[in-house]
Amino acid sequence: MDFLLDIAEPGQSAAPHAGPVKRVVGIDLGTTYSLVAAMSTDGGPLCIPDAEGQCALPSVVHYAGQRQIVVGRAAQQLALSHPERTISSVKRLMGRGLQELQKDPTHATPPWPLQDGEGGMVCIDVADRLVSPVEVSAEILKVLKLRAEEALGGPLQGAVVTVPAYFDDAQRQATKDAARLAGLEVLRLVNEPTAAALAYGLDRFEGGADRQGLFAIYDLGGGTFDVSILRLEQGVFQVLATGGNSRLGGDDFDQRVLTEIVTLLGEEGLDGQRLQACRQLARNTKEALTTAEQVNMPLPLPDGTVWQQAMTRSRFETLIEDLVRSTGLVCRRALKDAGIRPEQLQGVVLVGGSTRVPAVRRYVAELFGREPLSDLDPDQVVALGAAHQADLLAGNKESELLLLDVTPLSLGLETMGELVEKVIPRNTPIPAARAQAFTTFKDGQSAMAIHVVQGERELVSQCRSLARFELRGIPPMVAGAARIRVTFRVDADGLLTVAAQEETTGVEQSVVVKPSYGLSDGQIEQMLREALTHGADDMRLRLLHEAKVEAERVLHALRAALQQDGDLLSTAERELVEASAGRLLESLLVEDHERINQQVSRLDKETTFFAQRRMDRGIKAAMQGRHVGDFA
């Protein structure tokens, strides 16, 4: 790998790995295509192409014999001859269970058998092995990672990965797991429409006179639909409301055309290969109808003849009409949640390849009463925004831009009668925390079952079950005397943790649950180890390298903090901090990642009071001259 340097002022050369620019990327892990983008040397984000100049990597993974894996266009080709070994649209299976998929009427049967996997998550049976959707997604991400590392000239130091705004907790967690499995450090999960807004908003508003406005982002991709209503003000992108359907997209348009073709063919019981050929034909037909009024659909038959029929655009539009219209309901609800009327919007932005369908554009124009904006490539805009956000998170440049997002779905608990009690309603700004108090209903009750669900409906059975756990060791009391406090926390990635505690007796009985779907941290580590084909030695080197990079980063941050706020420390305290930093420096000389990691966390502990003081100073500065009354 070649390392490139810039000329520095005398004596100003940066310490290694603390350099001003970090190699970070934005990744759009899509249902049909995935992309990776980074900041270019010209200053703006650009998608990184493969050796043939193509940016979009088909999200298709082919499992050949002898553990060979093929990803992308080549896999797409192999799907025609080996549909049972080729997985596409795996995003629709992310974070979902087998039963749940079977109950879902919109779920089209894939050409590979599905099974129950670990943690209740679905698993795919590809010829000679079982793979989870997380593993399949990781294969796609690995290809993008490699592509980016070649273009950027070194290992990546972080990535922003985008998810549909309407993804639930399990789907988000699965995406993050896939990124970790691919060896990426996830800086943040960012919602796709918000990333798109960042890409758009910048171009339009930075430096302009009018830096304020309300926007709707209409994002219809290959398998998911999102709408977000945002307020853009002085560089802050504040999401007011979001809505969507994580099982609606261009794939469903293809499915409608496919059904039509199969009906026209008049044959029953098509085998996997024929069906795959029809599926490809359906997709080509849909794409051609974007510009053409009528398209011929030729299909070679086994007897050597060619079957041929035509489809008009108006027939296609009839086939998909109800799907397109179903997005309207979601948009109206989002507008209502945001407290906005369509005419208050400054613009509607189209994102996602499926917004190329003329019927979709017409419908959006009608729905919002204005022509939508689509000057950026709807396939690339999400990745471009993600790259920009990655650059901001890496601290590569000073900027006032900030993305503020919300929870897409309400989070709640099961209460008596299988009803849901909402704890964090949908469209709550994140990070968020909310606590709810419950009590026992039987005398001497010593345990309480806690069932965490996500969704808008009143009945538990109609919501998504996220986690079940039990708070044990409640001291014997009469019914209603115990006070059990259940706390929900949603972090900046939109991921949930739940804790429960009995408060009256002072007995600390606390359980913290991170809903887990299929993969535990240990399992991911295990898989990473197995995936590293170079054996244990390389693993050790990699861990050592990571530990050193982290140590250098921490030391760099501490030096900066001491320079800026060193006056917050007494001489004795400063000596303490310096000594701790010295120990970490010494540990760097010993080639042992565990030693280094220990010293990093020790330094972190020993400087907690300093971090706290710096934070307090920051808050005081921010609140200066303001009174509590200002906030009332």
Partner 1 sequence: MAVSMTQRAAERARQMLQKRGTPDSAIRIGVSTAGCSGLSYKLEYADQLQEADQQFESHGIRIVVDGKSLLVLDGTEVDFESSAFKSGFKFTNPQVKEQCGCGESFKV
Partner 2 sequence: MQQPYQDLQRAFHPDRFVQRSATERRLSLEQVTHLNRAYQTVKDPLLRSEYLLERSGQGGAIDEKALNREPAFLMEVMEQREALEEVEITDPQAMQRLQSLRREADQRIAQELAALRALHGATAVDWQAVARCNHRLRYQRRFLEAMDQVEEQLWQQDG
Residue 219 a catalytic site member: yes
Q: What does the alpha-carbon distance between residue 26 and residue 144 come to, in Å, rounded to a whole number?
A: 10
Residue 28 a catalytic site member: yes
Tokens 């029953």 -> residue: 268
Nearest distance from C-beta of residue 185 to partner 2, angstroms: 10
Nearest one of 174, 95, 97, 98 to 138, comparing CA atoms: 174
Nearest one of 153, 154, 157, 84 to 124, comparing CA atoms: 84
Indicate the residue among 299 and 549 with the shorter CB distance to partner 1. Answer: 549
298 binds, among partner 1, partner 2, none (CB under 5 to 8 A by kind): none
489 binds, among partner 2, partner 1, none (CB under 5 to 8 A by kind): partner 2
Indicate the residue among 107 and 548 with the shorter CB distance to partner 1. Answer: 548
622 binds, among partner 1, partner 2, none (CB under 5 to 8 A by kind): partner 2
Nearest distance from C-beta of residue 328 to partner 2, angstroms: 7
Task: Return the number of other C-beta atoms located less than 10 Å from residue 560's C-beta.
Answer: 11
Nearest distance from C-beta of residue 272 to partner 2, angstroms: 36
Q: What does the alpha-carbon distance between residue 91 and residue 36 come to, in Å, rounded to a whole number?
A: 16
Q: What does the alpha-carbon distance between residue 616 and residue 608 come to, in Å, rounded to a whole number?
A: 12
Helix axes 133-152, 169-181, angle to 10 degrees: 50
Q: What does the alpha-carbon distance between residue 236 and residue 214 come to, in Å, rounded to a whole number?
A: 12
Nearest distance from C-beta of residue 486 to partner 2, angstroms: 16
**365, burial (CB in 10 Å: exposed 0-12, middle 13-18, buried 19+):** middle
Indicate the residue among 589 and 628 with the shorter CB distance to partner 1. Answer: 589
535 binds, among partner 2, partner 1, none (CB under 5 to 8 A by kind): none
Among candidate residues 91, 145, 176, 286, the one labeled active-site is 91
Q: What does the alpha-carbon distance between residue 113 and residue 102 come to, in Å, rounded to a whole number?
A: 12
The answer to whether the CB of 231 falls within 8 A of the CB of 255 is no
Nearest distance from C-beta of residue 605 to partner 2, angstroms: 8
Indicate the residue among 129 and 545 with the shorter CB distance to partner 1. Answer: 545
Q: Which two tokens stand for residue 590?
A: 């010993």
Indicate the residue among 434 and 595 with the shorter CB distance to partner 2. Answer: 434
**Starting at the edge strand that comes first in sequence, how are the strands of the sheet with 448-454 ordered?**
419-424, 411-415, 448-454, 464-471
Q: State the residues that interact with partner 2 by CB under 8 A.
A: 158, 187-188, 233-234, 236, 238, 322, 325, 328-329, 332-333, 336, 392-395, 400, 402-404, 428-434, 489, 491-492, 553-554, 557-558, 601, 604-605, 607-608, 611-612, 614-615, 618-619, 622, 626, 630-632
Cα 621–623–628 angle (5° rounding)? 160
Q: State the residues that interact with partner 1 by CB under 8 A.
A: 1-13, 15-17, 38-42, 46, 48, 151-155, 541-542, 544-545, 548-549
44 binds, among partner 1, partner 2, none (CB under 5 to 8 A by kind): none
Exposure string for 213-247, b = 16+ CB within 10 A, e = fewer:
bbbbbbbbbbbbbbbbbbbbeeeebbbbbbbbbbb
Among candidate residues 50, 168, 177, 192, the one labeled active-site is 192
Q: What does the alpha-carbon distance between residue 16 and residue 3 come to, in Å, rounded to a whole number?
A: 11
Among candidate residues 135, 139, 169, 219, the one labeled active-site is 219
**Residue 347 is inside which H or E element, if any?**
strand 347-351
The answer to whether the CB of 530 falls within 8 A of the CB of 469 is no
571 binds, among partner 2, partner 1, none (CB under 5 to 8 A by kind): none
Indicate the residue among 23 and 279 with the shorter CB distance to partner 1. Answer: 23
Nearest distance from C-beta of residue 15 to partner 1, angstroms: 6
476 binds, among partner 1, partner 2, none (CB under 5 to 8 A by kind): none
Nearest distance from C-beta of residue 377 to partner 2, angstroms: 26
Indicate the residue among 9 and 268 with the shorter CB distance to partner 1. Answer: 9
The residues assigned a catalytic role are 28, 91, 192, 219
